[in-house]
Structure 1
Amino acid sequence: MGGFILSVFVIAFMLYALFFRSAPPAPTVEEVPEIPDLVGLPGSTEAQPRESGAQQGGTAGLEPADDVARGGLTQTTELTTGAVFNSILNGDGQTMNYYNATDGRFYTIDEDGTVVALSSAQFPQAQDVQWNKDSNKALIEFPDGSNIVYNFDTQRQTTLPAHWEDFDFSPVTDEILAKNIALDPQNRWLIITNEDGSKTQSIQALGENEEKVNVNWSPNDQVVAFASTAQAIQGGLDRNVIYPVGKNQENFKGLVVEGLGFDSVWSPNGKQLLYSVSGSYSNDKPLLWIVDASASTMGDNRRSLGLNTWVDKCTWSSSTTVYCAVPLNLPSNAGLARAVYQDKPDVLYKLDLLTETSTLIAVPAEETAMNNLQVSTDGSMIYFTNTSGQLELMRLK
């Protein structure tokens, strides 16, 4: 009888557990906060966004910015509160010279932000400025067509003819290259003159092609300009020939370029030319190229460097090292409408021409365009102007 009663209780408990007992509570699901995208790691030819990881300690967040460029987010320092113009590395290799349009004066500034006026003289509404090789003389063009050369060491100025324009200083002397734009096209010439306008020499007739000639004096003193006067050659509408203009009227071999919008920067020794063009092969994005460009090697070893950027966003640190600002997510056809994309945020690349490798070395902690790049002589820092035109500094080592 007792066994029967025990069996009844056991069966009753099992039925209760099976049908009436409440289910255990479901496990708690903790919602993980979304990690925002950061700019960063590029593809093979253009910069692309990357995803950030969580900070150490297990909490999600943005990776900390480094004080020195090591490939990730990197701190930069704003040196000026307002926009600067025509900035260039000073002759000491460490400080920067620039023009302040607000008061019309020229200044130099160091890495700590200490500003010193180069002169008390004012040059209101300066339109363009070219610096000599030592950065102690400036050739200043004004909207009314007047041109002066100002020597900051002697605090003296020289006036040049108003019909001269598009100037460039010699990389080895203080001679000046200019276009003599006379009323009669037959009298328009590319000229070389002393800084005071004396001993003027005619180098190359321009005719009605002055807009197709870009002054660009080579460091080895052989080439003074490039002429885009040829028609498209066989192989497609994008293929063109750019003619180097010799200082002594040498007949250099033309450079074949695969695209439009040719612009270039010489290597410090004048043996190579870094340039950018845009073509259908690059979806009309600007693409960097390098080519040998001495008198005996002109046009040899032409090759793409695989970076979608404009060459004026690059600067040579040595004859084998180049730093370039590369825009993020540059769309197709950007090379045909640069003004639309000139304020896109950039990341910084280092190009090693010995190994022909490009390395992402910095993503500015604050998104910004990077223009007018200048590397200090010791390679420890790079100056640039940001989206607002302010001068900034980034540590490279």
Structure 2
Amino acid sequence: MFSNKTLILIIVGLVVLVGGVLLYLYYPKGEAPVPTTGGQNGQATDQAPSRMKTLSQEPVLGVAVEDRKVKYYLKSNGHVVESDFDGSNSSLFSSSVLLNLLDVSWSPDKNRVIVLFNQGGEIKKGFYDHKTRQSVSLADGLKSFAWSPDSGKIAYQFINSNESNISISNPDGSGWKTIFETKIKDLIVEWPQNSRISIRTRSSGLAPSVVYLIDADNGKFEKIIQETFGLAFLWSPLGNKALYSETDENGKN
């Protein structure tokens, strides 16, 4: 899919970009490290003060950033809290109680969620719309899933005793259609672009993995990464590029 030269350029570009962002955040314009005492014999050192801020004093899940606000679920009771980046102006965004919460997946527009929770020893999934207050339990056969970039749909692998397929539906599970049938279990489903859905097998250093792209409209598919050992794979934010690495068949470089 990518030449070695292209892959190297992408990696170098990402390293430079991330380094620049971190440098900007850590040393804002016009601000220098504040000398503090702490060296030998009381001599000043160039140790910068911590810029870390505590948002919550208890465990949280599903942190989402929107319009310079932060929203997150409290793991203890499922309440949703909203605050500024530094934790100030904290307020209760939702007081709905959800116990035994395991994970939260926000839609890209940050209005809806799919939550995973433990119910009687079984992992269940549910959909909740924070604008309309709609709450729906999702089918047990719904496994790995991904939001569409426009937040209007979800793609997921559906597995039961008779079938295994990739389907698309509304976020509440209605209006579903199957676009791809497969015998492979435990796939990772991603939705990098509106027209393209990605599925891949779990990474292993001792077994090869593959990546497929599926047309969201007609179900046509193509293999974009051939059988690769130790595959680590990441789509770019725009979904038009990807980074990946691999090992040899013994799980080594």
Asked if Structure 1 and Structure 2 have the same fold, meaning a TM-score greater than 0.5 normalized by the shorter chain, the answer is yes
Task: Classify the secondary structure of the residue corresponding to 1:217.
Answer: strand
Is 2:214 the partner of 1:245? yes
Q: Which ranges in structure 1 are unaligned for 5 or more consecutive residues?
A: 1-54, 67-73, 286-397
- C-alpha displacement at 1:258, in angstroms? 6.3
Is 2:111 the partner of 1:128? no
Task: Classify the secondary structure of the residue corresponding to 1:215.
Answer: strand
Q: Which residue of 1 aligns with 2:247?
A: 279
- C-alpha displacement at 1:142, in angstroms? 2.2
Task: Classify the secondary structure of the residue corresponding to 1:196.
Answer: coil
Larger Cα-atom Rg? 1
RMSD, matched Cα: 3.3
- C-alpha displacement at 1:196, in angstroms? 2.9
- C-alpha displacement at 1:127, in angstroms? 2.1
Q: Which residue of 2 aligns with 1:267?
A: 236
Q: Normalising to structure 2: TM-score of the pair? A: 0.70
Q: Which residue of 2 aligns with 1:221?
A: 194
Structure 2 letter corresponding to 1:262 = A
Identity %: 22
- Indicate the structure with greater strand content: 2
- C-alpha displacement at 1:278, in angstroms? 5.4
Distance 2:204 2:95 in 1: 50
Q: Which residue of 1 aligns with 2:136?
A: 158
Q: Which residue of 1 aligns with 2:75?
A: 101
Are 1:118 and 1:152, in contact at CA under 8 Å, matched by a contact in 2?
no
Distance 1:229 1:278 in 2: 13
Q: Which residue of 2 aligns with 1:84?
A: 60
Are 1:177 and 1:190, in contact at CA under 8 Å, matched by a contact in 2?
yes
The answer to which structure, 1 or 2, has the higher relative contact order (CA under 8 A, 6+ apart) is 1
Is 2:177 the partner of 1:201? yes
> CA offsets per residue over residues 191-249 of structure 1, 9 Å max, x none?
11112322111122232x222x211101x2233222238999xxxx7976433333232
Q: Which residue of 2 aligns with 1:29?
A: none
Q: Normalising to structure 1: TM-score of the pair? A: 0.46
Distance 1:76 1:152 in 2: 29
Distance 2:141 2:44 in 1: 59
Structure 2 letter corresponding to 1:279 = T
- C-alpha displacement at 1:162, in angstroms? 2.1
- C-alpha displacement at 1:76, in angstroms? 1.6
Are 1:139 and 1:150, in contact at CA under 8 Å, matched by a contact in 2?
yes
- C-alpha displacement at 1:112, in angstroms? 3.4
Distance 1:167 1:191 in 2: 9
- C-alpha displacement at 1:126, in angstroms? 1.9
Q: Which ranges in structure 2 are unaligned for 5 or more consecutive residues?
A: 1-34
Q: Which residue of 2 aligns with 1:149?
A: 127
Structure 2 letter corresponding to 1:89 = V
Task: Classify the secondary structure of the residue corresponding to 1:138.
Answer: strand
